[in-house]
Structure formats: C-alpha cells, structure tokens
Structure 1
C-alpha cells in the first residue's frame, strides 16, 4: 500500500512544497495534501508519476512507515540561516539516515550508546566530566568522528548545496545521531561535532532550540576540545605563531583558539583584538593556516570495504533500502570514499558481520 510518510520524506528531499509537487504531477494541491494525510491513496498511474518526479523508486513508497525526526527534538547548529525548505529537507535526510542506521544494527555488531545524560551540569563541568567518563584525560582528541562512533553515536554528513544547514543532532530512542556539513573546513567540522555532542549530553530528549542552548553547546565544545588545564600550563600568549601552534595541537580553527585563550584570560583584550585583526588580514577567518585533513568514518569505511569484498557496494545497498543511491552518497559524503560496485547483482554482507572499532 502507498505509504504517506514516505511521500512526505521524498517530497521534502526533492525540496518541493505540496503545491509545487501537485503542479508538476498535474493534480490539485488538495489531492497531495490528502495523500500525505492518509485520507486516500493515489492510483497506480499517479503513484508512478510521483515516483518519477521525486526520483525515488516506486518500491520506496510501498514499504512500512519511516521514522521521521521530530522537528522540536532536532538541534540545528544555526536556525537563523535556514529556510523552512532547507530545514524540512535536512530532517527528511535524517529519516533516510535512520533507515541506514537500522540496516547497520541488523547487519553488524556495533557499540551501544555510551553518551551520558548531563542535563544538571554546566557546559564546562559537563565537558570535563565527559572527558573523565570516557577516560580521555586532558590530551588532544585525535579524531572526533572516530570518538563519537566508538561511543555509539551514528555520524552522517549533510550533502546539501550551501552552508546554511551547519549541523544538527537528534536522539532516536537511546541512539544519538549527528549530522555534519561536509562543505566546512576540517577544523570547523570538528568543532561542530563537539558542539552537537554538547547538545546530546546537555539537552537529552529536551527541546534544544534557542540561543541559550546554542551558547551552552558552544561553551561545551570549546571546553571539550581545548581543556583549560593544558592551556594554563602554556601561560599567556601574545603572538600569532604560538596561537597557530596551539590550534594545531587541539585540532580547532585558529579563530576558535584565539577566542578560547581570551576567554581563559591568557590573551589580553588588546592582544585578542590585534590577533583577530591579523587573522582577517591574512584571510584566516575562513581559510586555515596549515589546514587539517578531513576526518573520516571508521564504521562506514569498514562497512563499504566489507560490501566490496562481497562484490557489492552502495548501489546494492540502494536496492535493498529502495532509496536512491544519491541519497546514500550524500549521507556519507566526506566521511568515506564511496565506490561504485563492480557487480550490482552480488549478494550482500552476511548477517551479523563483525566490525571492530579502535581508539
């Protein structure tokens, strides 16, 4: 039977309103509203037409309900920059990511969530407490994506055009999910990952939207990636070369390190202003000196390697989930190298494959 929730997901992924979809399909807008409300079903001919327009196979619309993230439960990195169309498209991408996440759970043994609820803590104490809980001490975090995956967080990319949708996170039951914009620098993407981790621990199952929540997540990210004790051991900083050295050690942007040093009183107000003037002059507010390599996913690399060993790949996964290959690639873009399978008819990985994540 034609599934209304899947029509909503496909329409939002195509970036169309109900009125626009109706116009392209040659039907009344009220008809599309009725389809998505479950009031009535499209004919076979109309269903095929909707499938062609939206770019999703007909089989996608004929399966069970899909779990769509609740808008009020999603923490977006920057709500002010997004249009409603972009927000709905990103949330619909989350629904497809949930399908991929369920497939992973069925096929592989992966870590359960080890992300604690720290709603009673301040951002700074939560950052220090989580480092202790995970046994990280004060040492630099080599790879945020690997760390999140090791602790049971599902990490996906946002393959959207433009940077308006910075990043977002959402809890689905006991499984946390983080979505990162793949068009940002590696350093800023790491900060986004820490920012979303802040939402996950500070605002678990609560409505995390609002300026105060964003401020808390930023404070958490700064304290988590740039712990206070090691920076205080360095002492006061006055020159840009030292700031660049520290930013490379912490894996953050030079602007973020400059702000953190001033926040901790390790750079005077005058020094802070002079440093930012120099950053602007050199173009380092957007481009990084000595940029990092983009972090990639351990889980998806191992999964795709496993698929390729069995002669399959993203194309075969697309067939199993009845989701366009392009949608899967967007969710993995920048997190892993995606290859086209050599044999689309090959069998999938045997159930309960064994994947091992390492620190």
Structure 2
C-alpha cells in the first residue's frame, strides 16, 4: 500500500516544496496535498511514477512501512539556531534513513555492542578522563576517533547536506548511540565534532535534551565543547608539550599530535592556563588574519570508517555493489552514498570486485554475515 509518510520524507529530504514538486510531477498542488496527507486511498501508478521521477527515489520506497521519526527534542544539533526548519527536517530524515541502513546491516553482521556510559553526574573534563580510562586510551593522543567510536558501539554516518549549517548531530535510539558528521568540514574540525557529539551522548543521554531553553541549549553546547577539548587534548599532555607563551607557529607544529585545528589547540592552551587572556586574544587575531578560521594550515587527511569499510568490502567481495545494496533497501544510491560518504572510495570497491573476478556465482544478501 502507498505510504504518504514516505512521500513526505523524500520531499523534505530533497528540500522541495509541495508547490515545486507538484509542478515537476505534472499534478496540481491540491492533488499533491491530498496524496501526502493521506486524503486519497491509492494514487494512480502514473502519478506515483511521476513523483518518484521528480524526487529521484525508487517507486518501491513509497510502499515501505512508516519511517522511524527522529523527534526534534531528541537530536543534538550543534548549530540549530543557524539552520532553517527545512534543513533540520532534512537532517532528521537522514537519520531515519540511517536507521534503516543500520537495521539492514545488523541483520547480516555482528557489530560491537554500545559501551557508552552515562556520565552526567561528572564535569565535562572529568567525564572525558573517565571515558578515556574506560576505553583504555589513557593520556595518549587519539589517532582515529571514528574507529574508537565504532569499536565502542557508536554508529557513525556522514551528513552530506551540502552546507555547514548542520555541523553534526547525535542521537540515542533506545540503547544505540548514533553520530552524524558533516562532510563539508575539515578533517580536524570533523574530529572535534565527533568528540563534541560523544560529549552529548555521555553527558546528555537521559532526557536532558527535552524541551531545551535558549540558555540551557547554550550551556549544553559549552559542556560538549569542554568534553571534546579534554577528550582530544588532555590537560596533562598539553602541559607537557605546549611551551609557555607559544607562538602561532608553535601551535601549528603541535596540532598534528592531537589531530585538532590550530584554533581548538589555542583555546585548549588558554583553558589550561598556558596562555594569558591577552595572549589568547592576540593569537585569535593572528589566526583570523591568516585565514586559518576557514582554511586549516597543514591539513590532515580525513578519517575513514574502519567498520563500514570492512562491511562494504565483505559485501563487494560477494558481488553486492552499492547499487545492489541501495536497491535492496529501496533507496536512491545518492542517499546511501551520502550517508557513508567519508567511509570508503570507489577504488576500494574496484579492488574488491577485481579480487572476486571469475567468481560469477555470488551470494544472496540474506547469506552475508561477518564477525566483528
């Protein structure tokens, strides 16, 4: 049966108004409103095909069950005030699609169980140290934060919204934690976003996002930032490595140790008492003048998901390309690729396909399994 909720999802994911979609599909706005509101029992097949074509979604997508909706007060948008209502809806629908992909993968692979504790009773800095201890990191630099999150059961997806208004967000789905990272950010800033969202997961997981007020929202964001700084750059390590009165050049040379932006390192050095208020403000002016707020000096390579790469390589080795996976999920391939954009590249798929060359038998998707 045609599911009007799926039409709403696809339309809002594409950021298309009802009026524009109706025009592209060749139907009246009134007819579209009736279809999307469930006011018509069964749209005719040509109408469904026209809507699917206009949205670039497979027709089969509109005959699936109700999508799982991410409620606004359960999602920790980093820059909620700067996003439009449409962009927020589109991002939440990306989460709904990620849930479906995750469920599909979970049926075929054994993924790590979540090991993300409730640390809301601790200060952000102490929570960061506690989690480092629990995850066996100690005071060492975290070289690969995405892998660390995945190893401890956090589901990591890309958020390819073609804008920076939605930096990143995290959400709890029952006992499963999810993090979505915007692919428009630099590698260093994306790492900080990942740590920031981890801060939300451990500090604000039990109803603390409900009905946020403006001041409360800002305070939670500050707490997540403090957690991220302490998690990526422990104060003990900063004190041992950063010289007194560091120059901008010193910070640029040192930032690669922790995999952070030079701006984040300057802020952490200030918070650790290594630089005075006057010196910090001078560093900030120098950063801005050099353009380092927008373009990172000495940029690092973007991290890729180890878990997703293993999953996709296993599927590809059995002939299950991204196109076949998207077809099995009744998703357009661009939505699948957007949600795993920072995971693997086409070269990896070609290598996997080359490795299985000559093996034409393949296996059904139902038979694909893997250990952790």
TM bin, normalised by shorter chain, reads over 0.9
1:214-293 equivalences in 2 (<5 Å) = 214-234=221-241, 236-293=244-301
Secondary structure of 1:76 counterpart: coil
Q: CA deviation at 1:181?
A: 0.8
Counterpart for residue 200 of structure 1 = 201
Q: In 2 relative to 1, CA 29–301 (structure 1 residues): closer, same or farther, beyond 3 Å?
A: same
Q: In 2 relative to 1, CA 96–314 (structure 1 residues): closer, same or farther, beyond 3 Å?
A: same
Counterpart for residue 213 of structure 1 = 220
Which deviates the most, 123-132 or 140-149? Answer: 123-132
Secondary structure of 2:82 counterpart: coil
Counterpart for residue 334 of structure 2 = 326
Q: CA deviation at 1:325?
A: 0.6
1-side partners of 2:364 and 2:308: how far apart?
Answer: 15
1-side partners of 2:206 and 2:6: how far apart?
Answer: 24
Q: CA deviation at 1:329?
A: 0.6
TM-score (norm 2): 0.89
Counterpart for residue 73 of structure 2 = 72
Counterpart for residue 119 of structure 1 = 120
Number of paired residues?
A: 356
Q: CA deviation at 1:47?
A: 2.0
Which deviates the most, 115-124 or 43-52? Answer: 43-52
Deviations 1:142-170 (A, max 9, x none): 11110111111111111121211111111
Q: Does 1:353 align with 2:369?
A: yes
Secondary structure of 1:109 counterpart: coil
Q: Does 1:17 align with 2:33?
A: no
Which deviates the most, 274-283 or 297-306? Answer: 274-283
2-side partners of 1:53 and 1:111: how far apart?
Answer: 39
2-side partners of 1:262 and 1:22: how far apart?
Answer: 55
Secondary structure of 2:57 counterpart: coil
Secondary structure of 2:171 counterpart: strand
Q: CA deviation at 1:207?
A: 5.0
8 Å contact from structure 1 (residues 115, 151) kept in 2: yes
2-side partners of 1:118 and 1:38: how far apart?
Answer: 44
Which deviates the most, 69-78 or 116-125? Answer: 116-125
